[in-house]
Each structure stands twice: as C-alpha cells, then as structure tokens.
Amino acid sequence: MFIGHPACGFAAKRLAPGTSLGWLVLAPFFLDILWPVFLLLDIEHVRIDPGNTAVTPLDFYHYPWSHSLLMALVWSIALGAIYRVVAKNTRGAWVIGALVLSHWVLDFVTHRPDLPLYPGGPKVGLGLWNSIAGTVAVESAIFLAAIAIYVRLTRARDRVGRIAWWALVGLLSLIYIGNFVSPPPPDVRSVAIVGLLLVLFPLWAWWADRHRDVR
C-alpha cells in the first residue's frame, strides 16, 4: 500500500501536531526502508514473479525480520523509543510507534497470505492486491482523506511550504500510478536499490513541514 503508508503519517499530524511530518512519514515507511537493506544483506529474500497478484510482480516469500507482526511490534517500540529520547516528546513517541505498526496492518489488508505472524510462523493476508480496482479505491480514499486532514490542520508559512508540500503529494501520486503501468523490475538488486530511495520521502516531508504552521 504505497500511498496508504505516508497517508497515515499525514493524518497523524492531528494526533501529534508538535511532531515533524518527517518523523510521521518515516514511521509508516520504516519497515519498507529496513526491507531493502535486509535484501542487500541477504537476510531476507523476494522473487520477481509477474502475476503473483494483480498489483505487484513480487513474491514476498521471506521477510520475517522486517515484516512479521512480532518484529513490527519490536520496530514500533524501537523507533518510538528513539524518538522519545531525541525529541523528549512522549505523545509523539506513542504516535510514532503506532505508525510503524500501522504499516503491518495495511499490508495485512493488501497482501496475499505472505505476512508471517512471527519469524517461522504462519502467514496471513487478506489479498486486496488481487483486485486493482479495489486497491485503487481503498488506497486513494485513505490518501485523499489524509491530505485533507493535513491541509486543514496546517498552512504554508511561505512559498516553499506550499510548493514543497504539493510537490510531495504529486510525486507520490505519480509513482503510485506508475506502479500499475511499469514493467516488472529486472532483478532483485534493482528492487532493493530503488527501495532505499524511500528514505527521501521523510526528508522531503520534514522540509515541507518546516515551512508550514499548525493552525
């Protein structure tokens, strides 16, 4: 659920208005930022399998350390604790932790049964990705609602705050559309390298949010 994850971060600004949008976007993307690192280290594995679902050509057959429910809870606690130490913000730390866990919840809705409950444990998933129309409808609704929440809660302090925010929204939208029309990736290493670029979105969100004020 590509745009669904940052959407959770946008909407969470209402729960933690004093927390930078950079952190709020990093948290729901965190498991997917760990995943390509684990791929490159040969700790986790994926196959390129066109037709695996209607939405993705990837077969996520082994990613227990980044995407099992148990480890999602561990990473939630870890990132929330790091934020608490860095920002001295307890409320924000709880929100950050919940956002990390929200990634697994959204993946549970979209993935076929490939998400382990714990390393080596049974795998679950509701399989929304078997329907392109269903996936687009659900994810777009979440994304648009989250944009509305963030825009109503904040206002641009200057031109950067306006342009950087809407450029972030536009780029996420274009990448999302591109995922449906792009050919399968050539190899797993390419998947991992492109996946590492996700870290740019929290940085972009931090920059845009710095130029916006909470109403």
189-211 confidence digits (pLDDT tens): 999 999 999 999 999 999 999 99
- The β-bridge relationship of strands 154-156 and 123-124 is unpaired
Give phi and psi for 51, each to the nearest 5.
95, 0
pTM of the model: 0.96
34 pLDDT band (50/70/90 cuts)?
Answer: very high
- Say how many domains are in the chain: 1
**pLDDT at 198 (0 to 100):** 97
Q: Is 128's pLDDT higher than 90?
A: yes
CB 115 within 8 A of CB 68: yes
Q: Could you tell me which residue, 57 or 215, shows the higher pLDDT?
A: 57
Crossing angle of helices 159-181 and 132-153, rounded to 10°? 180
25 pLDDT band (50/70/90 cuts)?
Answer: very high
Q: Give the whole-number percent of the chain exceeding pLDDT 70.
A: 100
1 pLDDT band (50/70/90 cuts)?
Answer: confident
In angstroms and rounded to an integer, the radius of gyration of the C-alpha atoms of the chain is 17
Q: Give the whole-number percent of the chain exceeding pLDDT 90.
A: 99
Give phi and psi for 46, each to the nearest 5.
-145, 150
The per-residue b/e assignment along 80-93, b for 16 or more CB within 10 angstroms, e otherwise, is beebbeebebeebb
| Domain coverage including residue 70 | 4-214
Q: Once rounded to an integer, what is the mean pLDDT over residues 164-178?
A: 97
Q: Once rounded to an integer, what is the mean pLDDT over residues 107-133?
A: 97
d(CA 196, CA 190): 10
Mean pLDDT of the chain: 97
**pLDDT at 145 (0 to 100):** 98
20 pLDDT band (50/70/90 cuts)?
Answer: very high
